[in-house]
Amino acid sequence: MRIALAVLRRDRRSQVATALVALGVMIAVSLVLWLLAAPNGLQARADRTAWRDLVGNPDQSGVISVAVNHDSFDGKLIQRFDVARLRQGDVPVSAGITKFPEAGEVLLSPALTDLVRSTPAEKLGNRFPGRQIGELGREALKYPGELVAIVGQDKLDNGYQAAGLRGGSGSYRDDYHGMLYLLTRVGLVVLVVPCLVLVASAARLTAAKRERRLAALRLAGASPRQVIVMTAAETAVGAVVGSVLGVVLAQPFSHLTATIPWEGGTWYPGDFVPSAAVVAAVAVLAPVLVVAAAIMGLRRVVQKPLAAEEKRKVRSWRLLTIAGALGVFFLGIVYAQEASGDNQFTVVLLGLGAVALALVLAGPVVTAWVGRFFVGRWRRPSTLLAGRRLSGDPVAAFRGSAGVVIAVFTGSMALTMLPGLESQVPFRDGTWREDAIVAEQVAHDVTPLRLQTSAPIATMLDGSVSTGKDTDYGTYVIVGRCADVAKVLNGLSCRPGPAVYAYSKLTGDVFKSTGQKDQVTATLPAQYETRPFTGSGRISAVIDPELLPGTEGKVSMVGVPTTPENRDAVHTALIGTLPGVRLVDGEQRELYGDTLMEDLQRATIIGLSIAAVLGGIGAAVAAAGSVIDRRRTFGALIAAGTPIRVLRHALRREVTLPVFAVTIAACGAGIAVGLGLLVLARGLVGHGEMPLTPWVVAPVAVGVVVALVAALACGPVLRGISPRDYAAE
């Protein structure tokens, strides 16, 4: 212990190495804590909104009926819950909900309350008829400023039965079919791996210098235990200091993260705070890993002190680990498509982490190949020096490139997935005209709506036409007067007389309306005229009601064309007079899709920026450490007359040449993994495309630039070397 502390006090290079170890551990610990806090933040939101997870109760024992609807106003999304009491008795409510609103009573979130007060009632306030009995607390809201309304009604014909407005522990994996759950776990894995690479790079700083010193001590009689204790003590100083600083730095990270929007709003301050147990585990584990990595590098010193200067050889079998890791990953894809539950993505994430680590493990093999190539074909002294370094000690030479390689892998994976995810985000589907608002699941008298607005109203009945067999799901159609339906439906051109407007002649003649309650059944005549219908949405045919006797006057959908001036008023009239209906509003659906896409883009930019910074820092630390390790070699070259300029060029080539070679493989692995994740995401949402763009190879160029910038960190260290260093050795 005294020898280790004496080295730290008197050896400037060991002091620099200790400071770099502390820096690397600090960054890694703070980022790992930040990443581990992300699931906590999502879970905190899910717990606060667990009362919204309302589903039908098959045994009909529910106390209340609930209809959930998405609304929007002035570019903002609104969550609306219409509730009605089914029987007398206490209705349990969640924290943040003051009491259950009876008919004629309303609960609004604070932000919605302010918006209603500042907006004319005919545009917004009339959507929530009744007396406001209180405001929703933060315990019932997803984020600050969320717009939420709970509206009490006399009865709801289209609601779900529920035991109350209280939930247990929520699950954020249910958000958008589990796609966001998968992506958060993927981001956690691909960013934790470069953190581990950075810690390992910091732990191996000045490894060659330390090995020579410890080998001399072993030959002088030091026991293996004494050598290990010296190394552990020397490394632990920087690791412990860095871990403490990382825990302190994680606090401002959490407050900064709380200001990043997600799903339409920011976070409450306490959301992004990891548990005390997680903080303690990371704070202890990081120094332990650093010390363990340093000790693992002492095998040659402990066993063969005279072989400490020998360069380690790499075997080509390392390349097989990439194929094995990809096999595990795609096996996980197959398993995840068939499984469900909390462990659905476990094998996928293990395979993803294995691919990233396999790239790091196989990197020295490619580095050695690159070195031998340039040794045989050099034209400049700097290229020869770089090639000798790469082929002579590929493990040490690749160490600085590992973080950049992971960043390129992450970038190619993200840029492969992002265009495909765009096609899976729910934007306007083209069924209805852009100026139309359509209410579905209507079980009300629409007469009050006609009194509330002067806009034309199209009443429709949706259902399917089939052969009547139970195994035939039929064709989705709507029944309505063509002239009225054409005002809200895309691609419909009407002519006089009753007809069926369809893509092709219908298979079957039995019409059944949607839903089990008050179901309408009718039969098409044996002969009818079929006219072309060129719509691009989910409706395949429009049938005039004259062709289906018994459907006249039946309504399950109401569509209203609007203008920019009356859109909000029509929207308000629909919700106010038809409580609990599901509104299909193109603008609201676009808002939801835009919000989700912005979240994905923002998360991608943040993740790639962090990966690039980690890779650059790791490369800079490793490059500077390699100069410190070879101080004697560089001193001898300078003493022999080698210009500093040539050495700088050689150092830059040492960093950039293996990066360029290995990042091509990393880019290919990233594309393969990204396509696999797209297949899985498409299975989760049930649709989507798998496009590839030229941008997927952009991370290779960015990785080389980052490595080149990181190599500039060698300049100040190299300028401090002189022939005196060789003489001193």
Q: What angle do CA 643, 397, 218 make, to 5 degrees?
A: 100
Q: What is the pLDDT of residue 59?
A: 43
Interatomic CA distance for residues 198 and 191, integer angstroms: 11
Answer yes or no: pTM beyond 0.85.
Answer: no
Percent of the chain at pLDDT > 70 equals 88
Which residue in the block uniquely carries the two structure tokens 């804590």? 33
Question: How many whole angstroms from its chain centre is CA 6?
Answer: 48
Burial 533-555 (b: 16+ CB within 10 A, else e): bebeeebbbbbbbebbeebeebb
Query: Cα torsion at 539, 540, 545, 551 (round to 10°)?
Result: -60
**HEC letters along 665-703:** HHHHHHHHHHHHHHHHHHHHHCCCCCCCCHHHHHHHHHH
**HEC letters along 493-553:** CCCCCCCEEECCCCCCCEEEECCCCCCCEEECCCCCCEEECCCCCCCCEEECHHHCCCCCC
Q: What is the pLDDT of residue 58?
A: 44
Question: Across residues 711-728, what is the average pLDDT?
Answer: 67
Order of strands across the sheet that contains 76-85: 131-135, 105-108, 148-153, 76-85, 64-73, 160-162
Structural domain boundaries of the chain? 1-49+171-310, 50-169, 436-585
Q: What is the pLDDT of residue 486?
A: 94
Question: Across residues 131-137, what is the average pLDDT?
Answer: 93
Q: What is the pLDDT of residue 533?
A: 93
CB 458 within 8 A of CB 487: yes
Pinpoint the alpha helices (H) of 444-510. 447-452, 482-485
Which residue in the block uniquely carries the two structure tokens 């909900």? 97
For the segment 484-538, what is each residue's pLDDT rounded down to a tens digit?
Answer: 999 999 999 999 999 999 988 888 889 999 876 678 899 999 899 999 998 777 8
For the segment 155-181, what is each residue's pLDDT rounded down to a tens digit?
Answer: 887 778 888 888 766 666 555 545 666
> CB-based contacts of 365: which residues, under 8 Å, 6+ apart?
314, 315, 316, 318, 319, 394
What does each C-alpha distance from 206 to 325, 398, 506, 628 come to in angstroms? 31, 15, 77, 6
Dihedral angle sign, alpha carbons of residues 73, 79, 85, 89: negative
